[in-house]
Amino acid sequence: MGTLPRRLLFSLALLLLAAAAAPGAVAAGRLSTSYYRRSCPRVEQIVSDVVAAKQRANPSTAAGTLRLFFHDCFVSGCDASVLVSPLSSDQTPERAAEINLSLPGDAFDAVARAKTALEAACPGAVSCADILALAARDLVGILGGPRFPVFLGRRDARRSDARDVEGNLPRTNMSARAMAVLFARKGITPQEMVALAGAHTVGFSHCAEFAHRLYNYGGADGYDPSLNPAFARALQSSCTGYDKDPTISIFNDIVTPRDFDELYYKNLPRGLGLLASDAALWEYGPTRVFVQRYADNRTAFFEDFAKAMQKLGTVGVKTGRQGVVRRQCDILD
């Protein structure tokens, strides 16, 4: 019997790691789509109405809320610990960590507005963690993406510490292999990772996050040769002065930036992936196959994205006495 190729062995190891780290059946089993049936029966409608109004007023809300949900779940679990304001805590909370400083205010505001409406309708009933999960789902649907059931019953964290963040969130210059290991530690498979990366079909990134691909990269042109040349030159021009103005940003998907669709995946083989971590998904064989699958089939992407979001929403959840229901999302009880 011959030996298995190293790449196949690595892929099998990732699947085993993801299975071992997957959310426990007990924790996930305590979540339910009907959790608030008696305590707050209109919870989904209230959240939907609030975030829809917020999205109409501030179109960047959807992408920001998706990112906020991911950053919350991947650090200490889906427990609203990322929502705690540095102004309301004696310690330095997750929100103050360097990688979280660019999380958009509109996303925090969307959750806060929904919480205010729910406290008026159902005082002390609905957790901030559940509000964030519902808001992320609803906003994906508003942009044309899939709508899927959200399992509820999460409790909010009693603590939030910026020191927990480093090493738990992917960086924009990470290789696909390194990201796959990080995601596997959270119970997320490589295929689920690629499906979740499809959230980059909306939103934008600041030039500082990909400037290393544009300037002084080496070679005659100075940019990453995996970039489409016309795209690279346009980025070099658009990001001029980013070091003096850190707010300069570019849409993640330059083709259909406001639509939740499969164009993000179609862009990657064309050299139109903005972040190095996006381009890496196409360059790495074990993830390329899923990029191609979703580029060719929107239905497959939507179905797999919905399942991956449901799984993401169970990472590290706290239920029952493991957490609390905060009265204000940005203040620890």
Distance in Å from the first CA to the final CA of the chain: 60
Q: Which two three-digit tokens encode residue 102?
A: 């660019």
Which residues are known binding-site members for Ca(2+)?
Answer: 72, 75, 77, 79, 81, 94, 201, 253, 256, 261
Which residues are known binding-site members?
Answer: 72, 75, 77, 79, 81, 94, 170, 200-201, 253, 256, 261
Class assignment of domain 176-312? Answer: mainly alpha
The three-class DSSP label of residue 192 is: helix
Q: Region 260-266: what's the mean pLDDT?
A: 98
Q: Which two three-digit tokens encode residue 191?
A: 């295929």
Strongest mean pLDDT among 10-14, 24-28, 96-100:
96-100
Residues 288, 191: Cα–Cα separation, whole Å: 10
- CATH architecture of the domain formed by 42-164: Orthogonal Bundle (1.10)
Q: Per-residue confidence at 333, pLDDT binned at 50, 70, 90? A: confident
Which residues are known binding-site members for substrate?
Answer: 170
What φ, ψ does residue 27 adopt, rounded to 5°? -65, -50
Lowest mean pLDDT among 120-124, 154-158, 210-214, 217-221: 217-221
What φ, ψ does residue 204 adopt, rounded to 5°? -145, 165
Q: Please indicate whether residue 25 or residue 197 has the higher confidence score (pLDDT).
A: 197
Domain ranges of the chain: 42-164, 176-312
pLDDT one-digit tens code per residue, 208-251: 999 999 998 987 789 999 999 999 999 999 999 999 999 999 99
Q: What is the pLDDT of residue 304?
A: 98
Residues 189, 203: Cα–Cα separation, whole Å: 24
Q: Which two three-digit tokens encode residue 287?
A: 């993830």
Q: Which of 148, 162, 154 is CA-nearest to residue 308?
A: 148
Catalytic sites, residue numbers? 71
The answer to whether the 42-164 and 176-312 domains have the same CATH topology is: no
Mean pLDDT taken over the chain: 93
Considering the chain, what percentage of its residues have pLDDT values greater than 90? Answer: 87
Residue appearing with tokens 């062995």:
9
